[in-house]
Structure 1
Amino acid sequence: MSAPSAGSLLRRRFLLQVFPAIMLPMFISVSDQTMIAMALPAIAVDLGEADMISWTVVAYLMAAAVATPVYGRLGDLAGCKHMLSIALCIVVAGALVCCTAPNLYVLVLGRVIQGLGGGGLMALSMALVGHIIPPRERGKYQGYLAIVHLCASTLAPLIGGVITEHFGWRFLVAAAAPLAVFALIMVRRLDVVQVTYGKLGIDFPGIFLFSSFVVPFIVAMNELRTPQMDNMAAGAGCLAIAGMALLLLLRFERRALMPLFQLDVLSQPAISRSAAIAFCHGAAMMAMITLTPFYLQTEHDLTPMEIAQYLMTLTVVLALSSIATGQMVSRTGRVGIFPSLGLTLLVPIISLFAIFGTRTDAGIWLALWYAAIALCFGTVMNVLQLSVQIAAGAAHLGAAAAVLQMARTLGAAMGASAVTAVFFAIMASQGTSAEKAVLEALANASSGDTSFVHNQLTTAFQGAFFAIAIFVGIGAALAWRMPLRKLD
């Protein structure tokens, strides 16, 4: 009887030991925002302050964006396994604060704590894969991890809705605690040898300056969603603060002895361009997900359950495309061609969808539109993760993975805000209130009314989808210039 091959042993170790240890942290990271969104109406009713309810999402996003590069840097210095354990402990603490919050302000504080822990879950999990799996095989195994994204993206809304309806929102936010504890046990049992590089230290001035960039930037994106004078002025002021903080951060990091961002590493073309592509990909993807329920309900008169089916089509095909891309990278050794072709094809697909999507009857043809969009989206992130891991080397895997995740997070914030602002601006240019137009469209959709206001909504949606196509086009242009085209 022949001995098992090295490949089969690696696959067995990944599936039995590594995959369970990183699966739960990734699931918690991906599902958090979707699950909490299902509880927002119940939270608003229970705690009041409905006009501030969005801060339960924004607070987590800001804290996670600030924490991500810190975890990446410390993961390289102290070990990704140890830092992932700390991140999970912080998630538990944040969940306990959230579930006992007496008012919205304490809940937002708990979400900040959760974000400070959640910011490290995805980046450190992907860095651990880089430390365990050889470069040629990483595409395949990162494709397997797309299953986690699929389950989290697809099941989280359903789980969140069921728990909120039957047990209440406090039970929902508390559910992250036992999941994180179980994940912590699995991570501590993980057998991984990581050589740490450099002396352990924390760049507190760098963290402060980076926070001074991220927090105003995300607040600005939140303010610029609605084109009103007060919001526009506040958004412009926040962007000015963010810009000054970014300039000071870059200047300081060049001189720091223990910098938060090692600019000589991150300025490598493979890493900087991958981060830029991740920014564009995150912007387009989040804008598409944000716009889809709104679009399907007003333009196609679909129920929430029917909308969920289209979103499921989007997530399932995206995950399958990601898995297939990983398999093809491992078999062919080709890297850059997949996001280059995927994003290039996505530009005309979304542009044609903007023109003909409203004329397509809900059903199989509309589902095929979304399947084609998801197929192209799925060719990107696995390749970007592989590219930055190879370019960074073992010494900087954590920092490189963190930069990629941070770029995607900031891109998602900008994409959702920019596309929403385009939609509102087009409605305003036609002399119509977007809010009133949507209410009228929802009221008249079932009767098949094609009123003038409904036509204005169609025009605004077309402009919003064209804005998404612009983000994709910029990403495609960058993808064709990726230095890593083929593995050795």
Structure 2
Amino acid sequence: MLAIFLSALDQTIVAVSMSTLSVQLGDSHDLAWIISGYLVAMTVSTPLYGKLGDLYGRRRLLLVAIGWFTVASMLCGFAQDMPQLIAARVLQGLGAGGLATLSQAIIGELLPPRQRGRYQGYISGMFALASVAGPLLGGLLTTWLSWRWIFWINLPLGLAAWLICRRALRGLALPCHSSHIDYAGALLLISGLMCLLLAISGFGQLQKQTADAVQITLLCLSVLLLSAFVAQQKRSREPLLPLYLLHERHPLLSGLVAFFASLQMIVLTVFIPLRFEMLTSQPADRAALHLLPLVMGVPLGAYCSGRLITHLGRYKPQIVFGNLLLPLSIAALACTSLHNAWASGAWMLFCGAAIGCQFPASIVSIQTAVSAAHMGVATSTLNLLRSLGGALGIALMSSVLVSLLHRAGADPSLADSGLSGGLAASALDTVFRQLLLIDAALALPALLAALYLPERHLETSH
């Protein structure tokens, strides 16, 4: 849970500190790469950790990932300019890619299918809690201490996680089969994912005059590289990603559920505080406090879902319920005035619970669809889709927000007005209502995936 907390916290902890970072480091043009660099590095390293854990043992890889992440966090805190901070964040993301994947795979290795739901609920609850609490904690640390403490807080947590995992996981079995690494496949996968994520990260920028041609080139290059990766996996003796995970309905639909759940969690975590900040002119730490209902709802949903999996021996009802409740709650939140604090808080709580209940259920679902030898690969594939969902969600909804602001008459040349572009509060309120309604529509494909997801009886023993 500590390893999961570290990985998820740093996805969003810098969200409300961006303006402070741009002022103190004297660079606002590359500000988006503080988040994007971390997400790109974490995403491209996730499948490698899953495969290496299957081949060489998950305890060893988890200790390496925690140590790498902690050292990189220290470097982030000591950065003196924007390029140094971005480089350190990339290093941090390379360590974070193994934290969630290896922790969840270890749960799948230690416990029988029916018992996994309970503990995956704890793990998923911690992941979700850290993700949505990141902006709140980041705002408080930046306001009362310094932006450097949003990275230095990882040092004691990382050391504690490393010591606990080193002691508690000594009995974890080591793989006894021969190991072979598909280096060509790894290079193609990393290159393809990096091009894809760099292209995605370019969307939503305010200054895009020269970005379109570069993004199209990167997208085409990513298609070529990922196609070459698939061809390489077909002829590899030990594929990095078994292709049946993409062909069979069960693992594919489980991955889609996780993709959209992560997309919604990151989008709501970023844009709900931004809505309060722009409409009420509140400081970052006060605006982030409005995330508290979402913060409480996600781990509550994950905990209840995990316990129900263990009690019922089923995972599909929780996934269907969450994907039915989520678009309704987002649409209701869009139609609720910010001045109605109780109603807004209730709908955010429902949004959090709807997202949270899908996390342990989707992990259990995909782990029951694969053999024990591919447990790490399946878990890393799920986390890869989660990372892609978060990156795509931020890029897509940022682009939608910029488009809606421009249509409403915002003038980006007004430097003192920031992102609002001089719009009145009523116009901004309309923009964010439209943004949330679009986000609610974006949750509907996940409901279709949930309805067609196969159900399997969960065994009570290995």
TM-score (norm 2): 0.89
Kindly report which structure 2 residues correspond to 1:88-487, keeping only aligned pairs within 5 A, or say none: 88-149=66-127, 152-153=130-131, 156-157=134-135, 159-165=137-143, 168-189=146-167, 190-194=169-173, 196=175, 198-226=177-205, 228-299=208-279, 304-354=284-334, 356-358=335-337, 361-433=339-411, 439=417, 453-487=424-458
Supply the distance in 2 between the matched residues of 1:40 and 1:309 (Cα, whole angstroms). Answer: 17
The offset of 1:476, in angstroms, is 0.6
- Runs of 4+, deviation exceeding 6 Å: 440-444
Tell me the amino acid that sits aligned with residue 76 of structure 1.
D
Q: Secondary structure at the match of 1:51?
A: coil
Rg larger in structure? 1
Between the aligned partners of 1:455 and 1:40, the Cα distance in structure 2 is 25
Cα distance, 1:410–1:194 mapped onto 2, change above 3 Å = same
Cα deviation, residue 225, structure 1: 0.6
Distance in 2, matches of 1:434 and 1:311, equals 27
Q: Structure 1 residues 326, 434: closer, same or farther in 2, change over 3 A?
A: farther
Please tell me the residue identity of whatever aligns with 1:480: L
Question: What letter is aligned with 2:243?
Answer: L
Q: What secondary structure, in the 3-state scheme, does the structure 1 residue paired with 2:339 have?
A: coil
Paired with 2:195 and 2:395, the residues of 1 have a C-alpha distance of 14
Q: Return the letter of the residue paired with 1:109.
A: A
Deviations along 1:36-68, whole A, 9 cap, x unmatched? 445544543443323213222221111111110
In the TM superposition, residue 237 of structure 1 has moved relative to its aligned partner by 2.4
Q: CA-to-partner distance for each residue in 1:173-197, whole Å, 9 max, x for gaps?
A: 3443443233222112124333526
AA in 1 matched with 2:186: I
Whole-angstrom CA distance in 1 between matches of 2:298 and 2:364: 18
Contact persistence 1:337–1:480 (CA under 8 A): no
The RMSD of aligned alpha carbons is 2.8
Post-superposition offset of 1:277: 1.6
Q: What is the distance in 1 between the residues matched to 2:449 and 2:433?
A: 25
Q: List per-residue Cα deviations over 1:235-277 (Å, max 9, x = no partner).
A: 2222222222221111111112232211134533221111112
Structure 2 counterpart of 1:398, one-letter code:
G
Q: After the TM superposition, which of the residue ranges 314-323 and 267-276 deviates more from structure 2?
A: 267-276
User: SS state of the match for residue 213, structure 2?
Assistant: helix
Say if 1:423 and 1:159 are closer, same or farther in 2 by CA, change over 3 A: closer
Counterpart of 1:468, as a letter, is: D
The match for 1:70 among 41, 48, 62 is 48
Q: Distance in 2 between matches of 1:169 and 1:80?
A: 33
**Residues 65, 443 of structure 1: CA spacing in aligned structure 2 closer, same or farther, 3 A cutoff?**
closer
Determine if contact 1:91/1:115 at 8 Å carries over to the other structure.
yes
- Determine helix, strand or coil for the equivalent of 1:68: helix
Instruction: Tell me how many residue pairs correspond in the alignment.
Output: 457
Instruction: Give identity over the alignment, percent.
Output: 27
Which segment drifts farther, 474-483 or 150-159?
Answer: 150-159
Q: Which amino acid is 1:391 matched to?
A: A
Decide whether aligned partners of structure 1 residues 366 and 101 sit closer, same or farther in structure 2, where only a CA change above 3 A counts.
closer
Q: Please, which moves more after superposition, 134-143 or 32-41?
A: 32-41
Q: Is the contact between residue 58 and residue 102 of structure 2 (CA under 8 Å) also seen in structure 1? A: yes
Change (3 A) 1:336 1:155: closer
Cα gap change, 1:268 to 1:199, in 2 (>3 Å): farther
More displaced stretch, 265-274 vs 432-441: 432-441
1:408 & 1:441 partners in 2: Cα distance?
Answer: 28
Task: Note if contact 1:93-1:113 (Cα within 8 Å) is conserved in structure 2.
Answer: no
Please identify, of 403-412 and 283-292, the stretch whose mean Cα deviation from structure 2 is larger: 283-292
With over 3 angstroms needed to count, the CA separation of the structure-2 counterparts of 1:347 and 1:154, relative to structure 1, is: closer
Residue 385 of structure 2 aligns to a residue whose secondary structure is helix
On the 8 A contact 2:3/2:66 being kept in 1, the answer is: yes
Q: 1:481 to 1:434 in 2, by over 3 A?
A: farther
Unaligned runs of 5+ in 2: none
Change (3 A) 1:378 1:51: same
Q: Structure 1: where are the runs of 5+ without partners?
A: 1-22, 445-450
Q: Which moved more, 1:68-77 or 1:294-303?
A: 294-303
Deviation, structure 1 residue 206: 1.6
1:48 and 1:305 mapped to 2: Cα distance?
22
Once the two structures are superposed, residues 369-418 of structure 1 have per-residue CA deviations (whole angstroms, 9 ceiling, x without a partner) of: 21222222222111000011111232111111111111011111111111
Equivalent-residue separation in structure 1 for 2:261 and 2:132 (angstroms):
20
What one-letter code is carried by the residue in structure 1 that aligns with 2:196? F
What is the rounded CA distance, in whole Å, between the counterparts of 2:437 and 2:133 in structure 1?
30
Instruction: State the Cα distance separating 1:149 from its structure 2 match.
Output: 3.4
Once the two structures are superposed, what CA deviation does each residue of 1:201-260 show, in whole Å capped at 9, x if it has no partner? 332222221222222222222211137443333322222222222211111111122322
Are 2:107 and 2:116, in contact at CA under 8 Å, matched by a contact in 1?
A: yes
Q: Letter of the 2:175 partner, please give it.
A: T
Give the match's secondary structure for 2:236: coil
Normalization by structure 1: what TM-score?
0.85
Of 81-90 and 156-165, deviating more is: 156-165
Mark the CA change 1:167 to 1:459 in structure 2 (over 3 Å): closer, same or farther: closer
User: Which whole-Å CA distance do the structure 2 matches of 1:416 and 1:382 have between them?
Assistant: 23
CA distance in structure 1 between the partners assigned to 2:396 and 2:44 by the alignment: 21
